[in-house]
């Protein structure tokens, strides 16, 4: 009887540990972001912020109005001179929130396009070629000269 009880308890413990670990792994958004930036081709001087910062929540608000409690991590690289170069890689905690993040990044992109229309048609054209793409719990906003290569690098990440 003891052996059966110990076996059942062991099985329950193993199953509960497996349930806790599934989906708990986070992507390395910083490494993915750097890979996407590298694939983006020639870029101007870029500034980078991430969820590692002490002011992560405030910095995140510059690219999305999504509730920061839903975010597992982010990486944002943007041009120092204000031109239309911006690469963001963001991971949500729950994959069910990916559409909300995609919509939020779409609103951010529309805002950027309207800003560029006010002062630089060349920047507007590049911003209009930007892409928002997703993969699992990851979403990327890619605004650069070689969008296709950067998107390919993002999609290659596992």
Q: Please state the φ and ψ torsions of residue 83, each to the nearest 5 degrees.
A: -80, 175
Phi-psi region of 25 (alpha: psi -120 to 50; beta: other; left: phi over 0): beta
7 against 135, higher pLDDT: 135
Whether 126 contacts 145, CB under 8 Å: yes
pLDDT (tens digit per residue) in 3-59: 443 434 443 444 344 344 344 567 899 999 999 999 999 999 999 999 999 999 999
Answer whether residue 128 shows pLDDT above 60. yes
For the beta carbon of residue 78, count every other beta carbon within 10 angstroms: 22
CB count within 10 Å of CB 150 equals 26
Instruction: Report the pLDDT value the prediction gives residue 9, as an integer from 0 to 100.
Output: 41
Q: Which of 157, 143, 158 is nearest to 76 (CA)?
A: 143
Q: Using one digit for the tens of pLDDT, what is the confidence trace for 68-122?
A: 999 999 999 999 999 999 999 999 999 999 999 999 999 999 999 999 999 888 8
pLDDT mean over 144-149: 95
pLDDT (average), residues 141-153: 96
Confidence of residue 158 (pLDDT cuts 50, 70, 90): low
pTM score above 0.95: no
């Amino acid at each position: 009887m003891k052996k059966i009880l110990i076996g059942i308890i062991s099985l329950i413990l193993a199953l509960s540990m497996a349930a806790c670990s599934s989906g708990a792994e986070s992507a390395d958004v910083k490494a993915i972001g750097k890979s996407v930036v590298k694939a983006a081709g020639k870029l101007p001087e870029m500034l980078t912020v991430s969820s590692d910062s002490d002011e992560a929540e405030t910095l995140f608000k510059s690219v999305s109005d999504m509730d920061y409690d839903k975010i597992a991590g982010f990486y944002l690289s943007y041009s120092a001179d204000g031109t239309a170069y911006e690469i963001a890689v963001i991971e949500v905690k729950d994959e069910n929130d990916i559409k909300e993040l995609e919509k939020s990044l779409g609103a951010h992109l529309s805002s950027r396009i309207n800003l560029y229309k006010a002062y630089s048609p060349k920047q507007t054209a590049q911003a209009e070629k930007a892409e928002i793409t997703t993969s699992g719990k990851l979403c990327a906003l890619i605004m650069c000269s070689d969008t296709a290569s950067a998107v390919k690098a993002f999609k290659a990440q596992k």
